[in-house]
Structure 1
Amino acid sequence: MRGIILAGGSATRLRPLTLVSSKQLLPVYDKPMIYYPLSLLIELGLREILVISTPEHRDQYTRLLGDGSRLGIRLEYTVQDAPRGLAHALLLARPFIGGRRICLALGDNLFHGPDPPGRLRESLGRHRGCTLFSRKVTEPEQYGVATVDAHGRVVALEEKPTRPRSDLAVTGLYFYDNDALDKAAALTPSRRGELEITDLNRCYVREGRASLVELGDDWAWFDTGTPDSLLDAAQYIRTHQQLRGRPIGSPEDAAFRAGLISREELVRQSGPVPAPSSAGPRRGLLSEHRP
C-alpha cells in the first residue's frame, strides 16, 4: 500500500490565517498539522507517501519534510492547481500509486488512539475494496454519515443529511484497492465542479465492497477545519502529552518506534528535551520509548 496526504484546498473557514499559509502547516499545539497524519501513516507501516498541496505551498512542504530519508521513508510531492475535489487526488497520484493499494489521509484530520494503533492495522491487513473509518458524533448532520448492515457493510452514505439515519460520521482516512483509480477517473464532477469522495465511496457501496470500521471511545478524532476545532485539537494534544510524557504526532517518534531510525538519530533530530512544566510531566521524547 502507498499513502497519500491531501494538503491542498483554500481553507476559507480559517481565514485570515490561511491567507498566507497552508492550513496543514498551521500549528496544532507544538507541531505543524501535517505531522499528525504523516505520523499515523508511518505507524500503520506505510513507507512511500505522496503529499499533494497547492502550487504556492509546495516548496514549504518540501522544506519542512524533505524527501523522507531522515525518517526512513520516501516522500514525493505533487500539486493540485485548483480545488477539484478529494477524489481528484487519486488522479494526480496515479503515477505514484502504480498497481498498489491506496491509503488516503486528509491533512487536516487528527486521530489519536491506542498505541500502537492495532485496530487500524488489523483493518489494513484484511482490507478489501473500500474501508472507511467512523466515529460516533453528537451532531451527525454536520458530517458525511454512514449506515451499515449487521455485517459491517456500508449500505448508505449521506453528505450532511438533515435527518441522519445514524450517528456514524465518516472520518478523513480511507483505504482503497487499486480499482479506485479507475473509479475516480470515471466520476462526473458535482455541481460545485469537484470529484467528490462520497461519490467514489458510493461506487463501492453499490458493489457491496465498502466496509466501515467504527473507532471506539478510546479514539479521538478532530477535523481541524475551523478555529474552534483547531483550538480543541491543540488543547487535547497539550493535555495528553503532559499526561503521557511523550509526544503525539511526532514523525521522528513514529519512525523510531517503527525501527526506521536509531536512538541517536531520534535525539539528533528532536533537539533539546523540554524542561518539566508545572502543569504536568513533560519528560521528553526518550522518556518511555522502546525501539
Structure 2
Amino acid sequence: MTAHARSGIILAGGSGSRLAPATLAVSKQLLPVYDKPMIYHPLTTLMLAGVRRILVIATPRDLPRFQHLLGSGEQWGLDLHYAEQPAPEGLAQALLIARTFLAGQPSILILGDNLFYGPDLGAQLHRAQTQTVGATLFAYRVRDPSRYGVVELDPAGRPVSIEEKPARPRSPLAVTGLYLFDAQAPAWAQTLKPSARGELEITDLNRLYLHAGQLRVQTLGTGNAWLDMGTHDDLLDASLFVRTLEQRQGVKLASPEETAWRAGWITDAHLRDLARAQAGGAYGQYLQTLTEQENP
C-alpha cells in the first residue's frame, strides 16, 4: 500500500477547557506554539507520512477559522476537507464523522494537540503504512503513564493490554495521539457504546483490534519527542521545545511550506511566492532563504 492510498484525519474539536480562559474565544488548536499555530504540527506530521488528502474535524464555532487558516490546502499540494464535530463525544467518533470522506480507505488519525518530532519520523510512518490489515499505535515512554492510555507489551513486542489512565500502570508506555487504521475502523467504531463519561473511547476501539489479534505497536525511541499540549504547562513546554530547536539549529519545525517543497509537491517558484506573502516576519524570511540555500 502506498501512502497516497491512506487518508488523514486531524481531530481538532473539543472545548479546550483545560486551557481556559485562552480558549474561551478560539480553538486551542489555533493557539500559537512558539511561532506557528498548533495545528501546523499534526498537519505536517501527516505530510511527512506522505498523506495529502486530509479531513479536519472541528467544532461548528471554530471550523470557519480553520478553513480561513488552511484553505483548500492547494497552496501546499494538499487536498483539505472539513467536517463538524457538534459535541466532544469521544476520539473514536472522528471515524464515524469521517466515514463518507474515507469511502472505504484506510486512515491515519492524529489529534490536533499532539506534537511529534524525530529525525526518522517520516520513515517510521511510511514503514507503519505497509501494514494493510489492522491498526497500529505509536507508544512513547513517559515518567507518569497514569495520565495517559497505557499499552503493555510482551517480550516479543506484541501488545497484551491497553488501559485508560490506570491507577497502577502495567507499563511506562503511553499511547500517543497518532493511530493508523484499516478500512474496517468506521464499522467497528459504529459498534462502540459510550463510556461512563458519555464518549466513544478510542481505547475501546483499539481493544477490538487487540482482541482480534490485529493490533500492532510501534515505540518511538530515543531521539524522538512527543508532546501533548492540553494544559498551560504543556503548551509552554512545547513552545520552549520548538524555540530551542529552531534557534539552535536555524530551522523551522512544522512548516507546511517547507515540508511540501521538500516532498516535491510544490516548486521552487511556488515556495518563493508563499515566502513573499509572509515576508514581513521571520517565518517568511526563513522560507525565502530555503531555495537560496539549496541552490546557491
Using the size of structure 2 for normalisation, the TM-score is 0.92
Q: Is the 8 A contact 1:257 1:289 kept in 2?
A: no
In 2, Cα distance between the equivalents of 1:275 and 1:99?
A: 42
Which of 95, 107, 111 pairs up with 2:112?
107
Q: Is the 8 A contact 1:35 1:250 kept in 2?
A: yes
In the other structure, the counterpart of 1:172 is 177
SS in 2 for 1:211: strand
Q: In the TM superposition, what whole-angstrom CA distance separates every residue of 1:229-268 from its partner, at most 9, and x where no partner exists?
A: 1000001111111222121001111100110001121122
SS in 2 for 1:169: strand
2:165 matched to 1:126? no
In 2, Cα distance between the equivalents of 1:20 and 1:10?
A: 10
Letter in 2 for 1:267: R
Which of 145, 149, 158 pairs up with 1:144?
149
Matches within 5 A, 1:221-240: 221-240=226-245
Give the CA deviation at 1:289.
5.1
2:47 matched to 1:42? yes
Give the CA deviation at 1:129.
0.3
Identity %: 50
**Greater mean deviation of Cα atoms: 113-122 or 21-30:** 113-122
In 1, Cα distance between the equivalents of 2:206 and 2:143?
A: 23
Change in 2 beyond 3 A, CA 1:283/1:255? closer
Q: Is the 8 A contact 1:273 1:285 kept in 2?
A: no
Q: Is the 8 A contact 1:256 1:266 kept in 2?
A: yes
Give the CA deviation at 1:128.
3.1
SS in 1 for 2:239: helix
**Greater mean deviation of Cα atoms: 114-123 or 215-224:** 114-123
* Residue ranges of structure 1 left out of the alignment (5+ in a row): none
In 2, Cα distance between the equivalents of 1:258 and 1:149?
A: 37
In 2, Cα distance between the equivalents of 1:288 and 1:19?
A: 42
Q: Is the 8 A contact 1:127 1:175 kept in 2?
A: no
2:63 matched to 1:91? no
In the other structure, the counterpart of 2:59 is 54
Change in 2 beyond 3 A, CA 1:5/1:202? same
Give the CA deviation at 1:84.
0.8
Change in 2 beyond 3 A, CA 1:22/1:150? same
2:200 matched to 1:195? yes
Using the size of structure 1 for normalisation, the TM-score is 0.94
Q: Is the 8 A contact 1:3 1:41 kept in 2?
A: yes
Give the CA deviation at 1:154.
1.4
Q: Is the 8 A contact 2:271 2:287 kept in 1?
A: no
In 1, Cα distance between the equivalents of 2:262 and 2:59?
A: 31
SS in 1 for 2:259: helix
Change in 2 beyond 3 A, CA 1:258/1:116? farther
- Give the count of matched residue pairs: 286
Letter in 2 for 1:268: D
Q: Is the 8 A contact 2:272 2:287 kept in 1?
A: no
SS in 1 for 2:274: helix
**Greater mean deviation of Cα atoms: 111-120 or 51-60:** 111-120
In the other structure, the counterpart of 2:3 is none
In 1, Cα distance between the equivalents of 2:41 and 2:180?
A: 18
In 2, Cα distance between the equivalents of 1:144 and 1:243?
A: 33
Q: Is the 8 A contact 1:153 1:208 kept in 2?
A: no
Q: In the TM superposition, what whole-angstrom CA distance separates every residue of 1:124-149 from its partner, at most 9, and x where no partner exists?
A: 22353010001100111111100112
In 1, Cα distance between the equivalents of 2:242 and 2:289?
A: 14
Q: Name segments (4+ residues, structure 1) moved above 3 Å.
A: 273-276, 281-290
Letter in 2 for 1:272: A
Q: Is the 8 A contact 1:274 1:284 kept in 2?
A: no
